[in-house]
Structure 1
């Protein structure tokens, strides 16, 4: 077989694998749309119907959600798929899957360009296609895969543009779009651009002025609006909430450390005593912030995060699987060694090392950022490259054992991949069911369908805040939300003053148990209760329901455990 045909067939095979792994049963696993995904879907639905986000802002640069301001590009990308499939797993998740597949092909092209080695590029593309980290984010309505795909496209056009100046404006376009997708890029993009300008400054001076001016113009036109919106339009609100600089525990921790110093000098000293100069120099905000950021940064490269447990948020990773296959750590280390000692363009080496070193910095500035797989997503490609480089270099060094070594590595990947797939398809739906807010869809759709028979439908807020689940799963008219839908209140017995939307009510009962609530629930009322308000599994023991109430429906998690109950008066 000709080499050209072999390259094509292998690339097609990798893209087929990437496509199947990202699209197969995407509407079923993960088991439900969680709150942020429904927020994406309902914003896209609102844009589709009204040209405004559901808070009433026309074609916004940051979407105003119930709890935060969101970067816009993924939400706009979901408008066509929500138009086709509604607010559903396919409607919300399909853009992430498509960008995940495109990301694999762009990664292949980028590695082929920087190494000149199509075999290494093929291996790197395959590893990204089966990467647990990349798969997890390609199968849910996360912005990360779109951000990374634009970033890879920007790097590809930049490196090509050094020889063909007319391509540089495309690099500016794609790199400039990354902050429109996810906020991590707002910090990482300046670092990237600075690195590119410094490393390839001589090559850039050789590019025609016309192309450079076009590149600068495109970059400014793309970046300026999102920068303005970030600084003056609410875009910094989210960072203010998650930043280490706004952590409310900082002052108490510093105060405790200073008091401890004082007591070590004088055990009789009283609380509130002024610390001495030495204590203030050692224990202060800058020292505390620096310590937290350094801890986060080092945690990013820990075996616990990369290979053993991964992100402990079950929406971000299969628990116990790690972000990489456990044995890949060896190849990452080998890849780093080979990167330093084997022939490769010096400027490419410097850039890859800078990428590796700088990628964790944005996440390190946030609380729990050291193991937050979403905020660390820029780190994924360079680690996958090092894995592939380590494997390829090892096989090249041990040429006499090439076949046996190749079979061994293939065997390791096959076993690890099959184990991961078993965990994902068999265990993960049960293990993550609460993280993905399973049960809400059935409970809300049933309540809305039955609402015509009742004067009031009350959704319990004893668990997750129900507003976005109600709006998304009911596809409530966005125009009514924009007109101040959640501003109306009403006093309801045993609930107090709660939010009202027509005949739909949202509140937390004063009684912790539905057995106590039953006595005061108004007539002709449908009550959607969380399972914890009942405390008994009424699916297996339906006779133990509250005597004054009729159990209309019990909604179960995939595991069969109760999630929600729909009650009405007898």
Structure 2
């Protein structure tokens, strides 16, 4: 039985790997700015030991809004092996996404050790994780949260193993796994301080270890998790990203309070009395709970309403629709049969959105809440096994319950095939502008034409063209680090270098109407100059005085960029 389970697990892992690595460099179409930053910084650290800004072996990437540098470090071996490309930049995400599947398998076996169906449950949990749209979507792009899910899953398994074997090295390895995530993705910094105490409480529920035995692990938890989190929050640089997205820093909150107080004042309520009802505590609480519960809505979980837009798949939710009843059945089974495990699994899921709920940007957020895995896969698998068991035990006719099995698998199969269709066919042309589409071809076209011109003037277009020029040209990191140092700017995505000049204007070459202040007459002024290669945004009108060299189109046929020269 064990050998058969291992064979099935191997098949599931291979399936998961295929779903994550197949056409990895070209699907999803487009290469987002965030991916380019993570990939080029890995390339820069590999070549020089410094990130783009010259910061030596950084824990956070200054050039990427002080985001954790962990993903870039994990990408270095693959960029070394395969060279700098979309494929190598995404490789770490796909690899750790695949590696989470067997870790989830052994974790489920450990949690459900007293259940006779633990092997089957572990297989189904791994299978659901392997084919999960949510997990696949994020495993196929350069995104750090997939790595965090791997290390959190591994850390949880090692912690539970420590509860059984009581060997110190296991809990140390567990805390080390958790510690690593602090330097990979922001979300773990709000998740772990709550989740790890849940593990300690779960251990006390099981009565597998005495309270005094928790003292040393608690000290390690304080040293490796709590103190680093506090130091990060206390640092102006390391907490920059957190502070800029926090609901507590959102200026609209104070504006709303002021408006509410003014409205009360209209009917004669004094400002001091109004403050009792309209204050930051009330408003922040309302914002937090509103954000939090959005992550459990049908729209977020089962339609394509999740954010950010670049990770959405048209007509697909984060879960398959067949998982809706399975999740509910799985939850019912847990609290009916083992409330301790129910506490752990639901606690895991309920803790995951807390960090996202504390932000005002892109909420509800499918990236920050991927930490729900593999707990949600376990619930779905429990629901599936419970459904099979119900059919078998309550339907006497063998052929009927077998037909029920077949029907369930057909529904699952259709949902899976539908997802693959929309992901590989529809999604390529659906809303491609969110994925920085066109930059690969743009850089190639600029390089092809640039030798005949003095320089290229490129519209900034809100997409950080500099990082794409660096990435696709595999530009020497040491050279750009010196240029960045001299530039003395924090707008790293729009730094001009060599023959590339980045401008804020969306249409660098155009016919512009200018009103003479003295005469009041309107003149048409042409902004271009000869001998220069211009790159306008696709929406810009081509003036009569310029020739279109090439236009860069997105897969849906819309124009992303226009290459122009003056006649």
Same fold (TM over 0.5): yes
In structure 2, how many angstroms separate the alpha carbons of the residues matched to 1:474 and 1:158?
Answer: 45
Shift of 1:181: 1.2
The residue that corresponds to 2:403 in the other structure is: 404
Q: 1:109 aligns with which of 103, 106, 111?
A: 106
CA RMSD of aligned residues (A): 2.5
The residue that corresponds to 2:149 in the other structure is: 148
In structure 2, how many angstroms separate the alpha carbons of the residues matched to 1:255 and 1:51?
Answer: 49
Segments of 5+ residues of structure 2 without an aligned counterpart are 396-400, 489-493, 513-523
Segments of 5+ residues of structure 1 without an aligned counterpart are 267-272, 490-497, 535-544
Runs of 4+ in structure 1 off by over 4 angstroms are 206-209, 212-219, 221-227, 486-489, 510-513, 515-518
Asked whether 1:502 is paired with 2:490, we answer no
The residue that corresponds to 1:485 in the other structure is: 484
In structure 1, how many angstroms separate the alpha carbons of the residues matched to 2:565 and 2:485?
Answer: 24
In structure 1, how many angstroms separate the alpha carbons of the residues matched to 2:77 and 2:507?
Answer: 44
Deviations 1:345-402 (A, max 9, x none): x432321222122222111111156520011111232222111111211222332444
Segment drifting more, 69-78 vs 498-507: 498-507
The residue that corresponds to 2:345 in the other structure is: 352
CA distance 1:477–1:219, change in 2 (3 Å): farther
CA distance 1:236–1:206, change in 2 (3 Å): closer
The residue that corresponds to 1:542 in the other structure is: none
The residue that corresponds to 1:388 in the other structure is: 381
Shift of 1:256: 1.5
In structure 2, how many angstroms separate the alpha carbons of the residues matched to 1:327 and 1:510?
Answer: 45
Shift of 1:146: 0.5
The residue that corresponds to 1:220 in the other structure is: 223
Tell me if the contact between 1:168 and 1:215 (Cα under 8 Å) persists in the aligned partners. no
Counterparts in 2 of 1:23-422, with a 5 A limit?
Answer: 23-66=21-64, 68-116=65-113, 117-164=118-165, 165=167, 166-201=169-204, 203-205=208-210, 213=216, 220=223, 228-229=231-232, 231-232=234-235, 234-263=237-266, 265-266=267-268, 274-277=270-273, 279-342=274-337, 344=338, 346-368=339-361, 370-399=363-392, 400-401=394-395, 402-422=401-421
Shift of 1:240: 0.9
Deviations 1:91-149 (A, max 9, x none): 11010000000111111111121113100111111111111100001100011110000
In structure 1, how many angstroms separate the alpha carbons of the residues matched to 2:40 and 2:227?
Answer: 27
Secondary structure of the equivalent of 1:322? coil
In structure 2, how many angstroms separate the alpha carbons of the residues matched to 1:89 and 1:226?
Answer: 32
User: How many pairs does the alignment contain?
Assistant: 537
In structure 2, how many angstroms separate the alpha carbons of the residues matched to 1:180 and 1:424?
Answer: 31
Counterparts in 2 of 1:401-480, with a 5 A limit?
Answer: 401=395, 402-480=401-479
Segment drifting more, 244-253 vs 454-463: 454-463
- Give the alignment's TM-score, normalised by structure 1: 0.88
Shift of 1:227: 5.6
Secondary structure of the equivalent of 2:501? strand
The residue that corresponds to 1:493 in the other structure is: none
Asked whether 1:529 is paired with 2:532, we answer no
The residue that corresponds to 1:520 in the other structure is: 527
- Give the alignment's TM-score, normalised by structure 2: 0.89
Shift of 1:510: 8.3
In structure 1, how many angstroms separate the alpha carbons of the residues matched to 2:495 and 2:112?
Answer: 60
